[in-house]
Amino acid sequence: MNTKKVLISGIVGGIVYFLLGWLVYGILLMDFMSKNSSVGIMKTEDEFVWWALVASNLIYGILIAYVLNAVGNITSVGNGASTAAVTGFLVAAGFDLGLYATSNVSTLNALLVDIVAITVMSAVVGAAVVTVSKKIT
């Protein structure tokens, strides 16, 4: 496994996740998620713990880079996107369904939308990770 590729492409993937999260959750789905989440559950932007948010996105980016590197032979953007989409779907569905089963954080609709959003975001990150990985020797 090429650790340099995983780290560099994973950091790029984390940046892409962060920007997509801002677009998808901060703009496109903000009202929907607010209406489908428990009252008081969402922090305002002033209350965000930014280091944790950045770390979370970097960890997801590195996870996708690790999976794509570990699977091996993923050199096309399409294969990277599809493999990352499956990975994102499995992570999001596993986490969200467990949270839905044990808490009152969100509605079933919000859970399903979140799984779709993470799946799509993961596909874009996978494409970015493969693109960057191909440039690293």
Task: Determine the straight-line distance between the first and last CA of the chain, rounded to whole angstroms.
Answer: 12
Per-residue confidence (pLDDT) for residue 2, from 0 to 100: 87
Share of the chain above pLDDT 90, in %: 81
Q: What are phi and psi of 136, to 5 degrees?
A: -100, 130
Is the pLDDT at 40 greater than 80? The verdict is no
